[in-house]
Amino acid sequence: MMATDNIAYEEMIKGIWRDNPVFVQVLGMCPMLAVTNSAINAVVMGVATFFVLVGSSFLVSAFKQWIPKQVRISLYIIIIATFVTVVDYSLLAMLPAIHKELGAFIPLIVANCMILGRQEAFASKNTVKFAVMDAVGMSAGFMIALFSLGAVREILGVGALFGFDLFGPDFEPWVIMILPPGGFLTLGLLLLFFNWMTEKRKQFLIQLAEVDNETIKVKANG
Amino acid sequence: MSNNNPNNASGKDPHLLLQSAPLLHQKLTTPAAMKDVWIALLPASCASFWFFGISAVLILLTSIAGAILTEWIFTPTEKRRFALSDTSAGLTGLLLGLTLPAGIPLWMAFLGGMVSIGLGKVIWGGLGSNIFNPALLGRAFLLGTFPIAMTTWVSAGDLSDFFQLHSSNLALPFMQGQLDAMSEATPLGLMKFEQQVTSFGSLFIGNTAGSIGETSGFLIILGGIYLFLRNAINWRIPVAILTTAALFSLILLLVDNQQYPSPLFTLFSGGLLLGTFFMATDPVTSPLTPKGCWIFGIGIGFLVVLIRVYGGLPEGVLYAILLMNAATPLIDRYTQPRIFGRDKQNLKNNNKADK
């Protein structure tokens, strides 16, 4: 029991850092670039994706033995679209202003390749428990990425975070940051930062391994 | 026998000196080529000090500092001395600074220098690997980011003395600058929005509104001629740009002489001369082949007039050069010269065989 718990935990944690859907797999770029011009939009988009991904991963892994292989993609899409419709109408009822701002990008969650990718690559091959853990981790990673992009763009582009003014009235807004080029720029710089961190970590581990090898050699010789 | 010969440094008889090929040395190195451009930019920089006072000095210094600092940060430690010794980072900073308005807050100039080197050069792999001219990329970033600060112009020669500083220059980082002087439209803006023609004399000497380094046509041409005499630039590019721009605007003038400016105005207004001599001729981002240089220059000249006349912006040099920079690899590929000793038929057959 303990071992499976650890594995399930691994499945969840990998989506946040090691297999982050945005910074490592570079999936789901359409909502990533389109709705991150403010932090609140990004977070709402992240929550919507979270709900859709967890729900559809659960259903797909639960019904996997009844899904014929030939029509699996269309069935995944139908399942995903069901949850997207739920999210669409819930947002319209609860947060009409944000729903208006996100516009077409809520229905477009259906076409988010990160979600379909998780169904095809993971949920259809694993048990319900692992599928849900994986979906939670992946959508958390997606949400973190959306939030970091949205926060950077809102802070520089408007001088505020979640609508709270940070710099006072004299702030000079970076207009480019709330426009599409700002999305590409910020995403590129964040990818650069993440790759740099990964590379640093790899080098550190290699160094560590070398030191270990040397101590083993020294011990063997001694 | 002279002992000054560097080959003779070891004290051996030069007649017995054995060397491996290449035996002919070109004296033109990257630092030497950069030095030529520094010298050629000197008159235009001094003119900017004369017209815009201490503001121009500070803007140029901060953009140079931003560029050099970024180069220093993002270059691996063991390559730093080599990368900084060719002075190309500082030159990019200087070129960027010359395209900024006099009232711009200094932190923006610094940021522009950082973006020029960081996003324009280092990220592509350093000197020689970039697609776009770094200085223009920095300016395009600033223009997209701070459109108001980048298009608020101060008239040249308005200052009572050299040390009068615009208060907007000293705005705190991330804060707006409040311009104390009267802002004024550039000759191009006057032409586009108010149909006013600035006299050729002031365009030639430079006491108009505009970027600090672009106003004086005469001194920029002087720098360009120096570069040409030193063989530091490919003469085809400036000739192609200026001829095309002049011809195109002459045609427009013949169509309607009320609405469109004269060719001389087109050539001497805005940043066309500065861009032509110092940015379009950047050896990294311009084509290598003679035919390619002609195509490149004609494209820039055409686009500049097209953007100025039909676009939403009064000035088009920046985007014209950046667009043609993007087309440069394609131009290079399609204008490859025939390999010596082979006719075209053979060349085609060989290419097919390769595939």
pLDDT digits (tens, 9 = 90+) for A108-150: 999 888 899 888 888 888 888 889 999 999 999 999 999 999 9
**pLDDT per position in chain B (355 positions), as tens?**
344 444 444 555 667 667 777 777 777 678 888 888 999 999 999 988 888 888 889 999 999 999 999 999 988 888 887 777 888 899 999 999 999 988 889 999 999 999 999 999 988 888 888 999 999 999 999 999 998 888 888 877 666 677 777 777 778 777 887 776 667 778 888 777 777 777 777 788 777 888 888 888 889 999 999 999 988 888 999 999 999 999 999 999 898 877 788 888 888 888 899 999 999 998 889 999 999 999 999 999 999 999 988 888 888 899 999 999 999 999 999 888 877 777 666 555 555 555 4
The verdict on residue B345 lying in a domain is no
Report the C-alpha gap between B124 and A10 in whole angstroms: 36
Report the C-alpha gap between B279 and B269 in whole angstroms: 16
Nearest-10 Cα torsion for B50, B56, B58, B61: -100
The verdict on residue B206 lying in a domain is yes
Q: Residue A161 carries which DSSP code?
A: E
Across A54-58, A104-108, B189-193, which has the greatest mean pLDDT? A54-58
Report the C-alpha gap between B139 and B114 in whole angstroms: 11
Q: Are B156 and B219 in contact (CB under 8 A)?
A: no
3-state secondary structure of A101: helix
Is A171 in Cβ contact with B174 (below 8 Å)?
Answer: yes
Is B147 in Cβ contact with A172 (below 8 Å)?
Answer: no
Cβ-nearest to A171 among B105, B141, B175: B175
Q: Which chain B residues contact residue A179 at CB under 8 A?
A: 144
Mean pLDDT of the A64-79 span? 91
Domain residues for the domain of B122 are: 32-334
Is B175 in Cβ contact with A172 (below 8 Å)?
Answer: yes
- Report the number of distinct structural domains present in chain A: 1
Report the C-alpha gap between B145 and A171 in whole angstroms: 13
Contact of B174 with chain A, judged by CB distance below 8 Å, is answered with yes
| Nearest partner of B100 among B169, B196, B19, B197, judged by Cα | B169
The residue type of B267 is L
Considering Cα of A136, then A138, then A140, then A146, what sign does the dihedral take?
negative
Alpha carbons within 13 A on the beta-carbon side of B226: 18
Domain residues for the domain of A128 are: 2-221
Quote the ipTM score: 0.81
- Report the number of distinct structural domains present in chain B: 1
Q: Supply the angle between the helices A128-158 and A39-62 in degrees, to the nearest 10.
A: 170
Q: Residue B317: which CATH number?
A: 1.10.3430
For A176, name the nearest residue in chain B, comparing CA atoms only: B145
pLDDT of B258: 78
Q: Residue B211 carries which DSSP code?
A: -
For A192, name the nearest residue in chain B, comparing CA atoms only: B123
Contact of A166 with chain B, judged by CB distance below 8 Å, is answered with no
The verdict on residue B324 lying in a domain is yes
**CA of residue B144 relative to chain centroid, distance:** 18
Report the C-alpha gap between B121 and B131 in whole angstroms: 8
